[in-house]
Amino acid sequence: MYPKIAFLAVVLLGPGILLAQPLKPAKESGGEFVLRPIIPLTKFVGITPVEGGADENSAVALEKSELSHLVIGFRRSNLSNEDGPQFIKITTTLTGRDGDVYDKITQYAFTFAKEATPDSDETRMRWYAQQILPFGFVSRRKIDSVDVHIDSLLDWGVVKVSVMPDEEYTKYSHRFATQRTWYYRAKGKRWETAFFLGIPKVLYDTEKEDSVSYGNASAMLRFFFLDGETGSRYPVNIGIGTFGVSTPIDVSKSGGGFAISLFLDIVQLINTNFHVNLGNRFNGGLEVTPFFPVNHRARLLVNIRIGISP
């Protein structure tokens, strides 16, 4: 009676039963058939040549060429024949510096305990393939490892590689294994520029006896240096542009002029040290500015300012 039930279960449930017991009917236990549990991924799944960070804040920064060589490896010697085939889903998520996901790639593979000889390994692989994927193509190479597929990489974008048991098979199991996830960051150029509009408030003027109308706006092309591991902007940057004007293009005899800015960006300081993302469009902090007004003496100003990149 029980072999007939086992055969019917295979027909109805297909690959789920094969996952649990690929070579013979499931074991009888108290009148029920018991499925074997999924093997924990920590036992046989790893990534090379560099293991990534546990979260985005600890992402390991690698050159783009290094990221293209990431490989998910299966430690097949840690599996036994009783474990049967293990079905793996690999998801690679690519995120830009702005936090938006711009690509998501899914790959599938299965692996099993290593056989005594290459020929018997090949035979076992083909047997599993015929039972589970009768119309699919199975790569001998992917039984041991799978290259992480990445189509494109943005400067300082985040690469998240997640490995989990394929849910199409684990949904028949009594237990789910915890997924393994690694985070990487794609290294890029070490500096960048952005145009910022700002509202400065002068705190100190070395030539205050030479009265100048400071206006209420400034427009600066700012140069930012980037951290070599995170790609985040350093909180100190340099800018050049107009200052002391009513509008960004209003340079007149009333006091507007040109300035060089050395700026301590408190917003970026918070982003970097507290792992929050207030965005790169906003800034605010303390500014030291050599200022060259029209028809007035040059001077050094100390300001506070807030700004936005349009």
Instruction: Looking at the structure, tell me whether residues 248 and 170 fall in a common domain.
Output: no
- End-of-domain residue from the set 130, 159, 186: 186
Confidence of residue 256 (pLDDT cuts 50, 70, 90): confident
Residue 288, domain extent: 191-308
pLDDT(10) > 50: no
234 shares a domain with 216: yes
144 in the same domain as 209: no
Asked if residue 232 has pLDDT above 70, the reply is: yes
Whether the bond into 49 is cis, omega within 30 of 0: yes
C-alpha radius of gyration, the chain, whole number? 30
Same domain as 204, residue 70: no
- Tally of CA atoms within 13 A in the half-sphere of 209 that contains its CB: 0
Could you tell me if 26 and 172 lie in one domain? Answer: yes
Q: Which of 156, 186, 216 is the last residue of a domain?
A: 186
Q: Which of 189-193, 215-219, 274-278, 305-309 has the lowest mean pLDDT?
A: 274-278
The percent of residues in the chain predicted with pLDDT above 90, rounded, is 55
Q: Do 116 and 246 fall within a single domain?
A: no
41 residue type, one letter: L
Final residue belonging to a domain, choices 186, 217, 240: 186
Is pLDDT of 14 > 70? no
**pLDDT tens, residue by residue, 111-141:** 999 998 989 998 999 888 887 766 566 788 8
Q: Are residues 52 and 11 in the same domain?
A: yes
Report, as an integer, the average pLDDT of 294-302. 90
68 and 176 co-located in one domain: yes
Please tell me the distance from the alpha carbon of residue 257 to that of residue 123, in angstroms, as a whole number.
80
Residues 171 and 205 in one domain: no
Tens digit of pLDDT for each residue in 56-84? 999 999 999 999 999 999 999 999 988 88
Distances (CA, A) of 16 to 96, 131, 303: 37, 11, 68
Sheet (strand 71-74) strand order? 45-48, 71-74, 145-147
Task: Give the number of domains in the chain.
Answer: 2
